[in-house]
């Protein structure tokens, strides 16, 4: 197993879960597991360096938590204020109740929202009459929404929500690879409004994301990482051991190691779970076409500024879980998440923890600014948007340079080509967020599928100890 992020850990555990007799070794270049997932506890605050929760509408993450006995550590979002805000002309407004990422499910909140002009609301209503698209090729998220709902709905509602999820440019992102549910709605019902109204009605009030469907580990994402790692044999994990080369030999798959007792190790099967760029480098000597496909996957850069304030310094009621900022507002942040409002235990009593996202593909240059400038930008934006007065009691910068893969138009075809190329190399599997989804559940599912594919082909555990699977410990 190459890579000790959530994908690699899930793959390793799945292999041993299905075939306990396997000898599995997990190599991680860093001195800790988890990849971008990292929790910091400081001065009573719980700070996440990357994702701070995951969705439960797909089963893979919650199912893994149950299998390792971690599900009792998961906490739901706070039941009150399950709303999000959007900025319009420097002011925060509730997203219309029932507006779910790309489509409305309720009429009255759309009619009364100050976010859209009367003409914008009229154009949105016309979506009901827009014919379904006849072409079957992929299109961008932006093109899809402008075609169905008009430019204003895209700029004021959809772009900031999608930008907050993918830190990307919806004009480049693939509809099929990111929000295929809405493409299916159009084809099945002819209208997204019609499709949303035909769905079973939920009792939950809210906007943006369905917040009741999200959970977070009580003690942070690092506790989930530790819980999975604890299910693996301690001797199977090799930290601080980068893999510099991978090639097929007569003895099996040979890994070239740094910081190890022996320079090479041999295995009968390998799962590579590192991000697209390092995976591409490992594939160069195996399949140039596969390496090229991986190398073309673009990643967005984003930095997170976490700020802790005494509650009394913030004039806004914070009666929601966060705010997204349309690019048309020309501000310097993508979004802000009110972490301590969403989940308990994120800040001391009478304090607030806010995570500010800066950068993304639409403002890539901002993500690379020095820490002091990022902190200044975040403080100034919160002062203007939330009425924050005074200095934070905690401030922290987490950089996620080139960590969020962007599924551009045609991504599904790219993934299909890569998987076809991979069939030429028995005993080799690739997994991770470069393929079918960027969220924690998707990464877990990707790792588990890779493990199951290896076992189904009979390549894992097929060699004798004298032939492969040898690594001097």
Are both 229 and 363 inside the same structural domain?
A: no
Are both 433 and 332 inside the same structural domain?
A: no
Mean pLDDT in residue range 238-242: 97
Residue 373 within any structural domain of the chain: yes
Are both 307 and 363 inside the same structural domain?
A: yes
Residue 464 within any structural domain of the chain: no
Residue 195 within any structural domain of the chain: yes
- pLDDT exceeds cutoff 50 at 469: no
- Categorize the per-residue pLDDT at 269 as very low, low, confident or very high, splitting at 50, 70 and 90: very high
CATH number, domain at 100? 1.10.3110.10
Structural domain containing residue 137: 96-201
Residue 444 within any structural domain of the chain: yes
- Categorize the per-residue pLDDT at 458 as very low, low, confident or very high, splitting at 50, 70 and 90: confident
CATH number, domain at 19? 3.50.50.60
Give me the number of domains the chain comprises.
Answer: 3
Are both 108 and 142 inside the same structural domain?
A: yes
Mean pLDDT in residue range 127-134: 95
Residue 43 within any structural domain of the chain: no
The pLDDT value given to residue 470: 40
Are both 214 and 342 inside the same structural domain?
A: yes
Pairwise pLDDT comparison (253 vs 197), residue with the higher score: 253
Are both 293 and 435 inside the same structural domain?
A: yes
Residue 462 within any structural domain of the chain: no
- pLDDT exceeds cutoff 70 at 206: no
Are both 356 and 426 inside the same structural domain?
A: no
Domain boundary among 138, 167, 201: 201
Are both 371 and 446 inside the same structural domain?
A: no
Are both 319 and 443 inside the same structural domain?
A: no
The lowest-confidence range among 16-25, 138-147, 364-373, 399-408 is 399-408
Are both 401 and 313 inside the same structural domain?
A: yes
Domain boundary among 389, 405, 421: 405
The lowest-confidence range among 206-215, 269-278, 348-357 is 206-215
**What is the pTM assigned to this prediction?**
0.93
Residue 190 within any structural domain of the chain: yes
CATH number, domain at 355? 3.90.660.20
Pairwise pLDDT comparison (425 vs 457), residue with the higher score: 425
Mean pLDDT in residue range 265-294: 97
- Mean pLDDT taken over the chain: 93
The pLDDT value given to residue 467: 39
Residue 311 within any structural domain of the chain: yes
Are both 282 and 417 inside the same structural domain?
A: yes
- pLDDT exceeds cutoff 70 at 294: yes
Are both 342 and 212 inside the same structural domain?
A: yes
Backbone angles phi, psi at 399, to 5 degrees: -100, 135
């Amino acid at each position: 197993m190459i890579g000790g992020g959530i994908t690699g850990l899930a793959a390793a555990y799945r292999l041993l879960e299905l075939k306990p007799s396997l000898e599995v070794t997990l190599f991680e270049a860093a001195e800790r597991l988890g990849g971008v997932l990292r929790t910091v506890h400081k001065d009573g605050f719980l700070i996440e360096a990357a994702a701070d929760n995951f969705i439960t509408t797909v089963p893979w993450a919650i199912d893994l938590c149950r299998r390792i006995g971690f599900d009792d550590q998961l906490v739901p979002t706070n039941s009150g204020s399950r709303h999000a805000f959007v900025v319009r002309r420097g002011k925060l407004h509730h997203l219309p109740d029932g507006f779910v990422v790309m489509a409305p499910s309720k009429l009255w909140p759309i009619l009364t929202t100050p976010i859209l002009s009367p003409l914008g609301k009229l154009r949105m209503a016309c979506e009901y009459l827009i014919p379904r698209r006849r072409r079957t090729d992929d299109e961008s998220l932006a093109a899809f929404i402008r075609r169905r709902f008009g430019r204003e709905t895209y700029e004021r509602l959809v772009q900031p929500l999608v930008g907050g999820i993918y830190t990307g440019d919806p004009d480049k992102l693939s509809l099929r690879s990111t929000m295929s549910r809405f493409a299916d709605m159009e084809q099945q019902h002819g209208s997204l409004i019609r499709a949303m109204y035909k769905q079973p009605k939920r009792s939950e009030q809210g906007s943006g994301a369905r917040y009741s469907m999200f959970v977070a580990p009580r003690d942070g994402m690092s506790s989930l990482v530790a819980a999975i790692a604890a299910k693996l044999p301690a001797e199977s994990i090799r930290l601080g051991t980068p893999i510099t080369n991978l090639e097929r030999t007569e003895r099996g798959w040979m890994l070239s190691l740094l910081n190890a007792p022996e320079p090479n190790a041999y295995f009968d099967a390998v799962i590579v779970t590192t991000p697209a760029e390092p995976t591409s480098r490992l594939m160069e000597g195996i399949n140039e076409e596969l390496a090229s496909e991986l190398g073309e996957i673009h990643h967005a850069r984003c930095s997170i500024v976490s700020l802790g304030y005494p509650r009394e310094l913030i004039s806004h009621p914070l009666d929601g879980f966060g705010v997204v900022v349309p690019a048309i507002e020309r501000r310097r942040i993508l979004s802000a998440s009110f972490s301590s409002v969403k989940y308990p235990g994120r800040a001391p009593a009478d304090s607030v923890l806010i995570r500010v996202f800066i950068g993304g593909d639409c403002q890539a240059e901002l993500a690379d600014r020095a820490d002091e400038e990022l902190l200044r930008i975040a403080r100034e934006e919160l002062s203007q948007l939330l009425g924050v007065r005074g200095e934070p009691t905690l401030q922290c910068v987490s950089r996620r340079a080139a960590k969020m893969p962007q599924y551009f138009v045609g991504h599904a075809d790219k993934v299909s080509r890569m998987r076809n190329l991979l069939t030429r190399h028995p005993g080799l599997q690739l997994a991770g967020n470069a393929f079918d989804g960027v969220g924690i559940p998707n990464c877990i599912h990707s790792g588990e599928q890779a493990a199951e594919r290896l076992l189904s082909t009979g390549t894992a555990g097929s060699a004798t100890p004298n032939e492969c699977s040898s690594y001097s410990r």
